[in-house]
Amino acid sequence: MYCADIRRALPCFPRQGIFLANENSSRTKGAIPYWVAFVFLVIGAFSWAGSSVAGRMASGNVPPFTLAFIRWFFVALCFLAIGGRETWKQRHLILKHWKLLVAFGFFGVVGFSVPYYVGLQFTVAINASLMNTSGALWIVGIAFLMTGETITRKQSLGVLLGFFGTILIVSRADIAVLSHFSINIGDVMVLVGFFSWAVYTVMLRWKPTEMGELAFLTSMTIFAVILMAPLYVVDLIQGKTFDKNFDNIAIISYAVIFPSFIAYILWNRAVPVVGASVAAMAQYLIPIIGVFLSVTLLGESIQTYHIAGVAVIFTGVWLVSAGRRKANTDKPDADAVNSNEK
């Protein structure tokens, strides 16, 4: 069953290049109180929801290639600051798996961040926030395409509903938009980023198990920065730069500190305390908060097709989740099978 096979990947939440701590992690003496962990989850959701708003604010002010490169360059420095020693100790593993780590960096960072920021030059942050909701559905579909893992009929229906819900949003519920192929290129680029993230998430099944989490994240981020460097050079050659004013520096600082670094630390502290199930529910705060921030900070408006689209997507997410639970229930217990075979 797909979900059982990539359970390490499922806790991943799109758009940030970070994966969650294992809910089975042993609780140490320094474990935080439950209410503090819950606050950490909310802060993480706010941080990631604000990423769409920051990307939209950067439109016309900071070139998308430049924003993506500078963001992850400084994120790499942050990871080096806290994980440099572990990364150095595991350098032999990095050299051994460098091709795989490059692939992780491409699909998890470059393939998501660059199209996402390019897309936000042309579409509104509300669209990006709501389409984020369909991320879990694309992971199921991509896993089927990449690995041939079977999914239940209910999950298949959920993926299809997620697709149609996304089409409702990008077409603005207007069939003429589809018939004339006049879909906003920004929405398409945002979806390209989500598909890249889905590939990365499925690939996590092949993450080298002998590598520590910080060493993996640090090396992956460094490779991603190297891959994005030519794009940054293209911006420089074309004379695309940005004013070093307060607004632009604030946008870049936010992108580096909150969705890429602080949210990761808080999320990984909270998940072992509240469990992955509660943390997963916090994922659904992200589009809601994203819409709220888009309306209050950017002055964007919610349309009927937004509500219809996200309702269809949420239905699809529920079907995929329900189908997974049923499959897990139907799956015979391994210990029982073994005992019967003895």
Kindly report the number of other CB atoms within 10 A of residue 109's CB atom: 28
Helices (H), the chain: 2-5, 34-58, 64-89, 91-96, 98-105, 111-119, 125-131, 135-147, 153-170, 175-179, 185-203, 213-237, 246-257, 263-274, 276-283, 285-298, 304-330, 334-341
Q: Given this model, what pLDDT does residue 15 score? A: 43
* pLDDT of 25 over the 50 cut: no
Q: What distance in Å separates the CA atoms of residue 106 and residue 124, rounded to the nearest whole number?
A: 25
Find where tokens 């809601």 sit.
288
* pLDDT of 325 over the 90 cut: no
Q: What distance in Å separates the CA atoms of residue 210 and residue 271, rounded to the nearest whole number?
A: 22
Task: Tokens for 50, please give them.
Answer: 């604000």
State percent of the chain over pLDDT 90: 31
Region 127-135 average pLDDT? 73
Find where tokens 């990449």 sit.
146
Work out the angle at residue 131's Cα, subtended by the Cα atoms of residues 125 and 137, and round it to the nearest 5 degrees: 160
State percent of the chain over pLDDT 70: 74
pLDDT level of residue 342 (50, 70, 90 thresholds):
very low
Q: Given this model, what pLDDT does residue 124 score? A: 77
Q: Which amino acid, 23? A: E
Mean pLDDT of all residues in the chain? Answer: 78
DSSP assignment of 34-67: HHHHHHHHHHHHHHHHHHHHHHHHHTTTS-HHHH
pLDDT level of residue 172 (50, 70, 90 thresholds):
low
Q: Given this model, what pLDDT does residue 138 score? A: 72
Region 311-324 average pLDDT? 72
Find where tokens 């993230």 sit.
197
Q: Given this model, what pLDDT does residue 321 score? A: 67
Q: Given this model, what pLDDT does residue 323 score? A: 62
- Determine contact, residues 279/11, Cβ cutoff 8 Å: yes
Q: Biggest alpha carbon distance in the chain?
A: 72
Q: What distance in Å separates the CA atoms of residue 187 and residue 56, rounded to the nearest whole number?
A: 13
pTM tops 0.85, yes or no: no
How far CA 318 is from CA of 11, 131, 241, 297, in Å, comes to: 16, 16, 44, 30
Task: Tokens for 55, please give them.
Answer: 């990307």
Region 147-169 average pLDDT? 73
pLDDT level of residue 252 (50, 70, 90 thresholds):
very high
Q: Given this model, what pLDDT does residue 335 score? A: 41
Residue 22 burial class via C-beta count within 10 angstroms: exposed 0-12, middle 13-18, buried 19 and up: middle
Q: What distance in Å separates the CA atoms of residue 340 and residue 338, rounded to the nearest whole number?
A: 5
Choice among 173-182, 185-194, 284-293 with the minimum mean pLDDT: 173-182
